A and B are shown apart, each in its own frame.
Chain A
Amino acid sequence: MTIMERSEEQVRPGGGEDAENAFALIIQEHQRLVYGVALRLTGSAAEADDITQETFLAAWKHLGGFRGDSSLKTWLVRIAVNKARSYWRWKKLRRWACLGGGDEDEPALEDLLPDDPAGRPEQAAQAADLERRIRSAISTLPHRQREVAAMRAQELSIAEIASALGMAEGTVKAHWFEARKKLESLLGDVL
């Protein structure tokens, strides 16, 4: 039994320090995946950070009810996707109520720059520009295709994506095929 499997068994809210240590391991193991999916779905670093935190808090709260029909990994991704869907609905509602315009959707430069820009300023600017293009290209995809693409980008297999989204594997493959075609047409010069 791996450390992760053991920690997944031990962790329960109210289970004391052991449970918290085990949960810390789970966060460490999956936070990159959850954050990556959330960032590609929302296109906003701040929202992705919020969704990541809310995902793990929801998992912590509901671990007792986790039946284990899916893996912990796909369950966490599913929670993150549901939270991202709520974010889209909220955004749509804000737009409908004229509370949020288009300007706030444009990511700030510091949001696009790498955390630790080691290279020259020009390289950092190029990286930021490329990141802006990637986010813009992903944002043109229909929601389902975007979800599949976001998960593929985090190295989830077709089977894992199918499990997380409750889709047949063939449906996932079809969405990924369409998404790839669109992304290639938008980002072809850098591929």
Chain B
Amino acid sequence: MNEEKEMKLLSLMAVGRSDGFWLRQRNHILARTSVSGRGAGRWLLVPAAALAAMLLFVARHRPEAPVHEVQKVEISFLENLDLLSDMDVLESIPEDKI
């Protein structure tokens, strides 16, 4: 493929949108970051914290029950899902450094 054709191919594959589209998208992202960043919904954690405290209290005051195998698997599965999500942001290691 010659250079001219390559440039044409790249221009066909380029993505164009209106200024309004970019502005809407930017505002949407910023709205979501400010909600998570400012902690506007932190009060929502209060019931969750109360529930966690109650569960801790109950757990401490009841005899030890054997943990079922299925439960163990479910917890590790959920932990793996969290890890997978965090892995998206890992920086790459160049092939020649591996």
Contact = CB atoms under 8 A, between A and B. Distances in A.
Contact of A53 (B8, B14, B28, B96): B28
Contacts of B93: 166
Interface stretch (A1-9, A78-86, A91-99, A101-109): A78-86
A70 B90 CA distance: 11
B48 interface: no
A115 B18 contact: yes
Interface in B1-47: 1, 5-6, 8-10, 12-18, 20-22, 25-26, 28-30, 32-34, 36-37
A46 interface: no
B76 interface: no
Contact of A115 (B5, B8, B20, B94): B20
Contacts of B85: 58
Q: How large is the interface on A (under 10, 10 to 19, 20 to 34, 35 or more residues)?
A: 35 or more
Contacts of B92: 70, 74, 78, 163-166
Q: Secondary structure of the B side of the interface?
A: helix
A191 B8 contact: yes
A177 to B, nearest CB: 9
B32 A82 contact: no
Interface string A27-40: 11001100110011
A191 B5 contact: yes
25 contacts: A13-B36, A20-B30, A20-B34, A23-B30, A27-B30, A28-B22, A31-B26, A35-B15, A35-B25, A36-B14, A39-B15, A53-B32, A57-B32, A66-B91, A75-B91, A78-B91, A83-B88, A115-B18, A116-B18, A134-B12, A150-B13, A154-B14, A154-B15, A155-B10, A184-B5
Given A40-B13, A58-B89, 7 more contacts: A20-B37, A27-B26, A36-B14, A83-B88, A134-B13, A155-B10, A190-B12
Interface of A: 13-14, 19-20, 23-24, 27-28, 31-32, 35-36, 39-40, 49, 52-53, 56-62, 65-67, 69-70, 74-75, 78-79, 82-83, 86, 114-116, 130, 134, 138, 149-150, 152-155, 162-168, 171, 180-181, 183-184, 187, 190-191
